[in-house]
Amino acid sequence: MSDKFAWIHKINYKDIIIIYAIWFFALFFNRFFHFAAFMEVPDLSGFFDLLFNFAARFIFISLFFLYFIFIYGLSFKELGISFKSSFKKIIPLIIYIAVLLSLVLAFINIPLAENNISQSFHPVYNIYDTQSFVQSLLPFLMLFPLFFIIALSEQLMLNLFVYEIFKIKLPKLISRFLSAIFFSFLIYRLQPDKIIIFFSFALISILLYERTEKSILAPAFFGAGFYLIYTLYIYGWNFI
């Protein structure tokens, strides 16, 4: 394990319980408190739930950093915030996101927009032609920061508080797969079809994390693009 993550060995069960308690409080409060219903704007229910999800995750990230910076005196770099190693992967990450978007449009959105035979297909945008695709790009870019914060909160938990902790006792390969399997439980997405999707996403995130000198920014950037594509072009606002 790299020196900057030596603090993982110093944390105790109290720290783990506190962080997981904050995480699941933010997660379940967002799941069971329907913000849109409270605001009485049913037509925008999914979007308002997304905003509330963003707010809950932003608060979690703030509390996470405050806890470890003030109690353990850690730096942002020690907590996985490394800009230098992440910037090197920006262009490849954009290419990966563009490839994923192309595959989703070609094999899912466009065919199902013409003939919807799936009950789970509820995209925000149905792509029929070039114009409808171009119109969806501006919302894609505008929503990216919101999804980045949501993805960043999950990468904090997945890579620092699942994968790194598993690696203390288990071989790296086993830790990867166990962490990827646990990810669906971590974000409380237990539908059979979603488990496979999130398992693959978590595995890719862990690999990106390792290849960018253990920075959580690169997998969070990829996660934001991943969530946006699946939200806007396949499942709709309720995907996350």
N-to-C CA span, the chain:
32
- Report residue 3's pLDDT band, with 50, 70 and 90 as the boundaries: low
Whether the per-residue pLDDT at 42 is higher than 60: the answer is: no
pLDDT of residue 1: 43
Q: Model confidence at 44, in pLDDT bands (50, 70, 90)? A: low
> CA dist 199 to 27, 30, 178, Å?
19, 22, 10
- Average pLDDT along the chain: 88
- Can you give the pLDDT at residue 31? 66
Query: What average pLDDT score do residues 27-32 get?
Result: 73
pLDDT tens-digit profile of 171-185? 999 999 999 999 999
Binned at pLDDT 50, 70 and 90, residue 41 comes out as very low
Checking if the pLDDT of 8 tops 50, the result is: yes
DSSP assignment of 127-189: --SHHHHHHHHHHHHHHHHHHHHHHHHHHIIIIIIIIHHHHHHS-HHHHHHHHHHHHHHHTT-
* pLDDT on residue 32: 64
Number of H helices, E strands in the chain: 11, 0
Sign of CA dihedral 69, 73, 75, 79: negative
Q: Which of 28-32, 185-189, 210-214 has the lowest mean pLDDT?
A: 28-32
Overall average pLDDT of the 193-210 stretch: 94
pLDDT above 80: residue 124: yes
